[in-house]
């Protein structure tokens, strides 16, 4: 039964439009969740992590105006992996997104990230 679910999830992801899918927060959450899950639990962990990551990404769609307003500031380096759904270390300074004060961002390991300010959890990684 678990193998059928895994095959169904993989098939569904392959049938999704690549261009639209790649640009969404849901896709980013799925990709990051799958990578983190694979490290912990192999292929099954990747499926579970991808599903959870997609759910987190779908819950927090970020408007394009906010994404385009995040500057490319000086980056800080952290040892921890920066993953959607995981909090940034307390040593990372969160900055307010210009003209969108309800959002916070940081530039970590040369990657711009949008962060939920109360929990410090990464909600979107910008490339």
Is residue 8's pLDDT more than 90? no
Q: What global pTM score does this model have?
A: 0.54
Which pLDDT tens digit goes with each residue over 68-120?
889 898 999 999 999 999 999 999 999 999 988 889 999 999 999 999 999 99
CA 104/CA 94 separation, integer angstroms: 6
Q: Kindly report the three-state secondary structure assignment for every residue of 2-62.
A: HHHHHHHHHHHHHHCCHHHHHCCHHHHHHHHHHHHHHHHHHHHHHHHHHHHHHHHHHHCCC
pLDDT at 123: 94
Sorted by where each begins, the domain ranges of the chain are: 2-59, 64-126
Tokens linked to 96: 């307010």
């Amino acid at each position: 039964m678990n193998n059928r679910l895994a095959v169904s999830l993989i098939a569904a992801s392959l049938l999704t439009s690549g261009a639209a899918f790649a640009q969404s927060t849901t896709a980013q959450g799925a990709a990051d969740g799958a990578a983190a899950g694979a490290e912990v639990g192999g292929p099954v962990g990747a499926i579970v992590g991808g599903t959870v990551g997609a759910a987190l990404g779908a819950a927090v769609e970020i408007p394009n105006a906010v994404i385009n307003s995040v500057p490319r500031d000086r980056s800080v380096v952290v040892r921890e992996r920066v993953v959607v759904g995981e909090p940034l270390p307390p040593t990372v300074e969160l900055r307010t997104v210009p003209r969108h004060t309800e959002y916070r961002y940081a530039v970590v390991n040369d990657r711009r990230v949008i962060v939920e300010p109360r929990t410090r959890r990464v909600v979107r990684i910008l490339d």
